């Protein structure tokens, strides 16, 4: 793979504190960083899609956990502030970083924008999965940040499930190439972190993000220099989802894993 002539880095995200940390990290290291921000998926679309896959009872239970998680974040602000301070990262929106807003990364408008921008690399963090049709139109490397260790904890809530599975050695994050599967692309780098007793489902993703800025920078540097070297994934592969509210409460009350 040859070095990229154009050095533009396009970050695709639906927004939020954790993606902003990585956007700021990249902007502090690289000159040409742009953001394509898509609209978050509606909860009704989420529930319908999840119900088709897992059934309505599980889907509604997962939605209840998501709602409880959002409310619970208010109780973990001190721990969140500690993580940001301890890792020396920033979640402030930088007005100097250009942001283009669109409905979806899979829209024709987004594809046209990518063709016009001609980025050297596209970095995904907290956004929709790229459709096979969209992925096929992109000539540059597409890299994803995943808050979990692949392939054991693909999908959602990787840190939470690692703790539930008594597998804290695999509490961490993965930066990987994007293919048509769910977090199944070639692994570039991984980080492993020891969560604090005060961490919960509300702070796991923040901790995984703040502790992984170095592997994000390294992966982007590799993409720009044409030296990406994906690794073959080892270990059992499983896709995880949000825990239904009853599972979350049981693990919290009986095991102290929230």
Query: Is residue 33 over pLDDT 80?
Result: yes
Low-confidence winner among 127-136, 204-213, 230-239, 247-256 (lowest mean pLDDT): 230-239
Mean pLDDT throughout 50-69?
Answer: 94
What is the average pLDDT score of the chain?
A: 95
Query: Is residue 21 over pLDDT 90?
Result: yes
Mean pLDDT throughout 58-62?
Answer: 96
Closest C-alpha among 128, 144, 118, 172 to residue 22: 144
Confidence of residue 3 (pLDDT cuts 50, 70, 90): confident
Mean pLDDT throughout 14-38?
Answer: 97
Mean pLDDT throughout 135-147?
Answer: 97
Low-confidence winner among 23-37, 61-75, 209-223 (lowest mean pLDDT): 61-75
Render pLDDT for 151-207 as a digit per residue (tens, 0 to 9): 999 999 999 999 999 999 999 999 999 999 999 999 999 999 999 999 999 999 999
User: d(Cα 189, Cα 68) in Å, to the nearest integer?
Assistant: 32
Instruction: Write the CA distances from 111 to 9, 15, 130, 145, integer angstroms.
Output: 15, 19, 11, 21
Most confident of 21-30, 42-51, 73-82: 21-30
Instruction: Write the CA distances from 153 to 13, 15, 149, 213, integer angstroms.
Output: 21, 23, 5, 20
Query: Is residue 5 over pLDDT 70?
Result: no
pLDDT for 258 equals: 93
Radius of gyration of the chain (CA): 18
pLDDT for 113 equals: 96
pLDDT for 2 equals: 72
Kindly list the domain boundaries of the chain, sorted by start residue.
9-255
Bridge partner list, 192: 172
Q: How many residues does the chain have?
A: 258
Mean pLDDT throughout 228-236?
Answer: 89
Mean pLDDT throughout 64-83?
Answer: 88
CATH number for the segment(s) 9-255: 3.40.50.170
pLDDT for 180 equals: 92
User: d(Cα 139, Cα 97) in Å, to the nearest integer?
Assistant: 24
Burial 223-245 (b: 16+ CB within 10 A, else e): bbeeebeeeebeeeeeebbbbbb
pLDDT for 41 equals: 87
The count of other CB atoms within 10 Å of the CB of residue 156 is: 20
Query: Is residue 225 over pLDDT 80?
Result: yes
Closest C-alpha among 236, 243, 242, 173 to residue 209: 173
> What torsion do the CA atoms of 158, 163, 166, 172 make, to the nearest 10 degrees?
50
Contact assessment for residue 68 and residue 248, using Cβ atoms and an 8 Å cutoff = yes
User: What percent of the chain shows pLDDT beyond 70?
Assistant: 99
Bridge partner list, 61: none
């Amino acid at each position: 793979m040859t070095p990229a002539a154009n050095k533009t880095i396009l970050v695709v995200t639906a927004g939020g504190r954790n993606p902003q940390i990585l956007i700021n990290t990249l902007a502090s290291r690289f000159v040409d960083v742009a953001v394509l921000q898509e609209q978050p998926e509606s909860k009704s679309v989420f529930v319908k899609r999840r119900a088709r896959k897992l059934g309505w009872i599980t889907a509604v239970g997962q939605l209840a956990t998501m709602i409880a998680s959002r409310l619970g974040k208010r109780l973990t602000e001190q721990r969140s502030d500690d993580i940001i301070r301890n890792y020396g990262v920033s979640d402030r929106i930088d007005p100097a970083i250009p942001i283009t807003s669109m409905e979806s990364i899979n829209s024709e408008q987004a594809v046209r924008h990518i063709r016009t921008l001609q980025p050297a690399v596209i970095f995904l963090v907290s956004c929709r999965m790229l459709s096979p049709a969209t992925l096929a139109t992109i000539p540059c490397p597409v890299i994803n940040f995943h808050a979990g260790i692949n392939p054991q904890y693909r999908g959602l809530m990787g840190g939470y499930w690692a703790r539930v599975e008594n597998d804290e050695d695999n509490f961490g994050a993965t930066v990987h190439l994007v293919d048509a599967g769910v977090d199944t692309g070639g692994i570039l780098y991984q980080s492993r972190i020891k969560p604090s007793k005060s961490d919960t489902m509300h702070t796991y993703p923040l901790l995984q993000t703040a502790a992984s800025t170095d592997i994000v920078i390294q992966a982007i540097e590799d993409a720009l220099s044409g030296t990406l070297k994906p690794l073959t994934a080892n270990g059992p592969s499983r896709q995880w989802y949000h825990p239904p509210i009853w599972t979350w409460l049981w693990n919290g009350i009986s095991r102290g894993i929230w």
